[in-house]
Amino acid sequence: MFADSVDSDIAPSGTLLGLLQRGRGDGTLHALAAPRAEALAALSHCLRCDPRRDWQLEHRSLYYARLHRDLDAGLGEIEEHLFDPADLVDTEEERTGLALSVLGHLASYGDRGALLLLRRYAERGANWRWALDELAVRDDDAGLRSLGPAVLARFPHTPEGEAELAEAVRDAYEPRPWRLWAEDPDRPAQAERIERAREAGAFGRWGRQLRPAGPRPGWSVRAVLRWAQDGDSSSPDGADPAVPTGFPARDPLRREAAAARCLAAVAGPDDRTELLAAARSGPDAARAVALRHLAERGDPAALDLIEIAAVEAADPVGGSPGTVARSALAAFSRMRGAAALERARRWARREDALGDAAAALLACHGGPEDAGAVLAALRRTVRAGGLDAEALRPLVDGVARLAVHRAAPVLRHVYRETASSQLRGRTARALAATDPSFGAGFAVECLWDCEESTRELAARHAATGDTRVVERLRRLAADPAEEEGVQSAVRGRLGPGDSAVRRVR
C-alpha cells in the first residue's frame, strides 16, 4: 500500500540496526534485550556511519551515549574510528562528529577515559575543532591549557598560517579555550600570538564595516532585476552602469531574497507593468524575483502568474519543478488571505508540485472543511514520495492541527518507517492529537527517543499502566544530561517525593 523508505543505507525498521539508526526508543529497549555482541555491533555501525539525513538538525549523540553506557561498551571501537588512517584524508566533520559528541556526553557522565580520548583527538585529529568544543564545556582549566601548544602548532608561522589562526580565533564556537591560552602566564609567546590573531580578526571586521555591500541610492526596478539575473555585477562581463559595483556574489536563493527586499524599497505603483512583464516572461532569476515580490504584496495577478510558472516552467524530465517553478511555489507558500486559500482548495486536487504546495498551505492555514483534502494529500505523498519526503512535514502537522482522526493509520506507518527522527517527532505529536491509543502505545517507547522534543511529548502523554514508564520518568528526572524541557515535563507527572505519578486524564 505504501512506499518503502527511499534511503538504502538505513536497515529495515524491524531490525535492531534499523531501530538504532532511526533513533527510536524501541532501539534502546531491543538492544538491552538482545545478545550483547549483536547490540555492540549495531551501535558501532551507527557511530562509524552516521545514519542521520541532516546531522545539523537531527540528534543521536545523547541517545547513543546512554546506550553505550548501559552496555558498558568501552572506548576501543570509538578510538579506532577516530584515529583510522582515513582521518588523514577525509577531514569533513560528518565522519567523526557523531563519535566526538558521544564522547562529550560520556565525559559529562564522568567517564574519564572519554575525556582523555577527546584531548588526544583535539591534539592530533583532523576534526579537532569539534573535539575542542566538546572539551570547552566539560574539561577543567588545567586540561584545556595543556592543549594550547598542540593546537597552535597546527598554524605555521607564515602569513597564511597567521591568517588561518585569526580566522580560527574569530570563528570559534566556544571561546573559552582560546581565552585560557591567551591568559596562560606560563606561555607568554603563545599569549602574544593569540592576541595578535584577535586584533587581526577585529581589524578585518572593522574593514568590512567600512565597506558595506548593501543596497545604495540610485537603484531602480530594472537595476534590481538585472542584478538578480546577472550574478555578481562587479564582473566585467555582467557589469551594468545602473547597478552599483562591488556587490558580492551570492547563491541564487539568497540573491533572490535580497533582490526581493530591494524591490520592496524601490518599486512603486508605476513599476507594476514592468514587474508583471518580468513575472510573466522574464529571464529565470528576474522572473523568480518579480513573482516573489508580487506574491508578497498580494497583487491580484500573482496567483495566475504563479500557476503559469509552476506548470509551464516545470522540468520536463519527470515533471519536477525547475528554478522558476520552485520560486513560484515558494512564493505561493508564503501567501495568506482568502484568495490564496480559495485557490489552494482548487489546486489541492492536482497530483503535481502545485498540488503539493496547495495542500501544504491548507494544512498550515486551512479550516476544518479542508481536513479531507489534507488527508488525501498525506496519503498521496506517502505513496508517491516515500516516507522521508519533505512534503510530509506540513501535512503531518496539518492533520494534527485539524485533528483528523482518520489519519491515525497512515501516521502510525510513517512513525515506524521514516528514517528522519525530526519527522517521527512531528508524527508523534500528530498521533497524540488523533490516536486515542498513543498514550499506551508509541508514547511509551518515545520516552527513550533520540529527540528531546519527542521525549518531552512522551513524558506528558505516556500512560503509567506500563511499569516501565514510572521507572523511566524517574531516571530522566535524575539524569544530569537530560534537557530542561524534558525534566520539566517529567516533574509535572511525578508526585511529591517521586512516590506517585499523575495519570493522563
DSSP states of 173-194 = SS-HHHHHHHT-TT-HHHHHHH
Query: Which residues are paired to 501 by β-bridges?
Result: 494
User: Model-level pTM?
Assistant: 0.87
249 vs 228, 234, 238, 255, 399, CA distance in Å? Answer: 10, 9, 12, 8, 41
382 vs 410, 411, 417, CA distance in Å? Answer: 8, 10, 11
Closest CA to 14 of 443, 416, 382, 421: 416
Q: What is the pLDDT of residue 56?
A: 87
387 vs 55, 187, 410, CA distance in Å? Answer: 18, 56, 10
Cα separation of 312 and 357, whole Å? 16
Helices (H), 71-111: 76-82, 93-108
- Phi, psi (deg, nearest 5) at residue 48: -80, -35
CA angle 12, 14, 19 (to 5 degrees): 80
Q: What is the pLDDT of residue 206?
A: 46
Q: CA Rg, the chain, in Å?
A: 27
Query: Which residues are paired to 314 by β-bridges?
Result: 321
Helix axis angle, 421-434 relative to 392-401, nearest 10°? 20
- Phi, psi (deg, nearest 5) at residue 244: -60, 140
Helix (H, G, I), strand (E, B) or coil at 314: strand
Q: What is the sign of the dihedral through the CA atoms of 402, 403, 404 and 409?
A: positive
Q: What is the pLDDT of residue 315?
A: 55
Helices (H) and strands (E) in the chain, counts: 29, 0
Place of cell 489552494: 344
CA angle 157, 161, 162 (to 5 degrees): 80
Helix axis angle, 353-365 relative to 392-401, nearest 10°? 30
Closest CA to 22 of 422, 386, 442: 422
* Block mean pLDDT (10 aa), the chain, length 505: 50 96 98 97 97 92 98 97 95 94 97 98 96 96 96 94 92 92 91 88 53 59 88 41 39 78 92 95 93 95 95 58 87 94 96 95 97 97 94 97 98 97 98 97 97 97 92 95 94 69 45
Q: Which helix (H) or strand (E) holds 380?
A: helix 371-385
For the chain, the structural domain boundaries read 16-210, 213-335, 349-435, 437-505
Q: What is the pLDDT of residue 385?
A: 92
Cα separation of 243 and 322, whole Å? 27
Q: What is the pLDDT of residue 322?
A: 78
Q: Indicate the burial class of 165 (C-beta count within 10 angstroms; 0-12, 13-18, 19 or more).
A: buried
Q: Are 502 and 496 in contact (CB under 8 A)?
A: no
Q: Are 106 and 69 in contact (CB under 8 A)?
A: yes
Grid coordinates given for 34: 538482545
Q: What is the pLDDT of residue 496?
A: 62
